[in-house]
């Protein structure tokens, strides 16, 4: 790869080797004014991971300074992730890096995609409409993709090789990149190094706490957790304190949150409270309930909730509705009505 390509695909072994051959040490990267732009870009990678997604610059080999900044920002970002040692940040960061790479790969030549595939042990060959690869390589990186079209049984397979279109091959590479980055973190970073990064870490901690707080308080788009019915609040409070929900309650909570528009990732983050949290299993369950199989499940009615012992803390409004979603919609209607400006007649009535 050319230097500019190494900077755009910094997770490759070639990029790592190139950086390793540069004449500088870790202390200079962390403390030298000469590498301030690399540190700022590294911090920006993490900020973008938590907000808009990582944006990649347009680079050529003649942009030596910008190429070096982009190259060195990657190991610095990994150092920051390791110092913070937060599983939520690790997931968001590895996903964002992989997603940014996927966008670039869609525009690259077939031979380049094969080259990236070899990086992760995917030995693919080109055919007229895409690639074919061994079914074991396909399964290794498609198991996290729960949509029905990714099931092995739905693939065209000949003599143990699965045929995929190039965009789907790029999608498999995205999963391979994400897994590689995620599994390589956290690094073993000296305590002094983390101390020297304290300013950047403080800023990132604040943003991280804000993002986690938004999820915990239900501030995800138009969703308002203050309007949730008592049974769902009861389930959420139990989840946050590490209580394992009964299957029926877990289904009710997940289908409710999906039903009011929360994203799969935001629902997953609500379950991420225990050391034995299994993201892959949780994602599969949530995506299935949210409709990845072609059927989007609706929450159980109030009568069903009562039958399974999942009706908790019923209030006055509960007596007038028969479904948790109706509770939320009614509360949302009241909320929006209170925001509307008074009509001329209403103003006169209050004068």
The CA–CA distances, whole Å, from 43 to 81, 146, 149 equal 10, 32, 37
Q: What is the mean pLDDT of residues 317-344?
A: 82
Rg over alpha carbons for the chain, rounded to the nearest Å, is 24
Q: What is the pLDDT of residue 170?
A: 96
pLDDT for 340 = 59
Give the model's pLDDT for residue 341: 58
Q: What is the pLDDT of residues 153-206, one digit of tens each?
A: 999 999 999 999 999 999 999 999 999 999 999 999 999 999 999 999 999 999
pLDDT tens digits along 68-88: 999 999 999 999 999 999 988
pLDDT of residue 136: 96
Q: Assess contact for 140 and 69: CB atoms under 8 A.
A: no
- Strand 156-158 with 130-134, pairing: unpaired
pLDDT value for 291: 85
Looking at per-residue pLDDT, the higher value among 263 and 192 belongs to 192
Residue 61 and residue 192: Cα distance in Å, rounded?
35
Give the lowest-confidence range in 15-19, 57-61, 208-212, 331-335. 208-212
For residues 331-336, give the mean pLDDT.
87
For residue 69, give every residue at least 6 positions away whose Cβ sits within 8 Å of its Cβ, in sequence order, or none: 37, 38, 41
Confidence check: pLDDT of 250 > 70: yes
Q: How far apart are CA 97 and CA 105, in angstroms?
A: 12
Q: Which residue has the higher pLDDT, 292 or 157?
A: 157
Q: What strand order describes the sheet that includes 161-165?
A: 125-127, 130-134, 161-165, 156-158
For the cut 80, the answer to whether the pLDDT of residue 268 exceeds it is yes
According to the model, what pLDDT value does residue 186 have?
96
Where residue 122 falls among pLDDT bands split at 50, 70, 90? very high
What ranges make up the beta strands (E) of the chain? 125-127, 130-134, 156-158, 161-165
How far apart are the C-alpha atoms of 337 and 333, rounded to whole Å?
A: 6
| Cα distance between residue 51 and residue 47, in whole Å | 6
For residues 13-33, average pLDDT: 93
* pLDDT in the model for residue 15: 96
Q: What is the pLDDT of residue 345?
A: 45
Q: What percent of the chain has a predicted confidence (pLDDT) above 70?
A: 92
Q: Which of 255, 327, 343 is nearest to 291 (CA)?
A: 255
Does 344 score more than 90 pLDDT?
A: no
pLDDT at 222: 61
Summarised one tens digit per residue, pLDDT across range 203-247 is 999 999 887 765 555 455 567 888 999 999 999 988 887 787 889
Copy the structure tokens of residue 39.
Answer: 């540190």
Provide the 3-class DSSP secondary structure of residue 163: strand
| pLDDT at 334 > cutoff 50 | yes
Helix (H) or strand (E) holding 46: helix 36-50
Say if CB 265 and CB 234 are below 8 A apart: no
Q: How confident is the model at residue 30 (pLDDT cuts 50, 70, 90)?
A: very high
Q: What is the mean pLDDT of residues 307-313?
A: 93
**Residue 94 binned pLDDT confidence (cut-offs 50, 70, 90):** very high
Q: According to the model, what pLDDT value does residue 238 have?
A: 87
Mean pLDDT (the chain) is 89
Q: What pLDDT shows up at residue 156?
A: 92
* Minimum mean pLDDT range among 100-109, 141-150, 273-282: 273-282
Does a cis peptide bond (omega within 30 degrees of 0) precede residue 293?
no
């Amino acid at each position: 790869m050319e230097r500019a390509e190494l900077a755009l695909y910094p997770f490759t072994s070639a990029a790592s080797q190139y950086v390793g051959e540069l004449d500088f040490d870790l202390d200079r990267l962390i403390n030298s004014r000469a590498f301030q732009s690399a540190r700022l870009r590294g911090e920006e990678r993490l900020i973008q991971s938590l907000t808009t997604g990582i944006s990649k610059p347009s680079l050529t080999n003649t942009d030596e300074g910008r190429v070096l900044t982009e190259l060195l920002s990657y190991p610095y970002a990994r150092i920051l992730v390791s110092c913070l040692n937060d599983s939520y940040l690790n997931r968001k960061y590895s996903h964002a890096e992989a997603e940014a790479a996927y966008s670039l790969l869609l525009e690259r030549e077939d031979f380049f995609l094969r080259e990236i595939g070899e990086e992760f042990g995917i030995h693919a060959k080109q055919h007229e409409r895409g690639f074919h690869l061994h079914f074991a390589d396909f399964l290794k990186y498609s198991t996290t993709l729960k949509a029905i079209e990714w099931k092995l049984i739905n693939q065209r397979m000949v003599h143990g090789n699965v045929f995929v279109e190039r965009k789907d091959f790029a999608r498999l590479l995205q999963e391979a990149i994400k897994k590689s980055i995620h599994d390589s973190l956290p690094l073993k970073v000296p305590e002094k190094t983390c101390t020297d990064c304290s300013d950047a870490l403080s800023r990132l901690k604040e943003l991280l706490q804000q993002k986690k707080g938004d999820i915990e308080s239900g501030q995800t788009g138009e969703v308002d957790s203050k309007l949730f019915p008592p049974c769902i609040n009861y389930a959420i409070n139990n989840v946050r304190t590490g209580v394992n929900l009964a299957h029926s309650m877990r289904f009710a909570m997940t289908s409710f949150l999906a039903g009011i528009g929360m994203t799969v990732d935001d629902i997953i983050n609500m379950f991420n409270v225990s050391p034995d949290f299994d993201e892959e299993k949780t994602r599969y369950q949530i995506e299935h309930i949210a409709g990845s199989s072609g059927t989007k499940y609706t929450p159980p009615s109030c009568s069903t909730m009562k039958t399974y012992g999942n009706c908790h803390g019923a209030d006055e409004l509960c007596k007038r509705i028969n479904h948790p979603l109706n509770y939320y919609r009614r509360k949302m209607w009241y909320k929006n009505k209170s925001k509307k400006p008074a009509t001329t007649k209403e103003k006169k009535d209050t004068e």
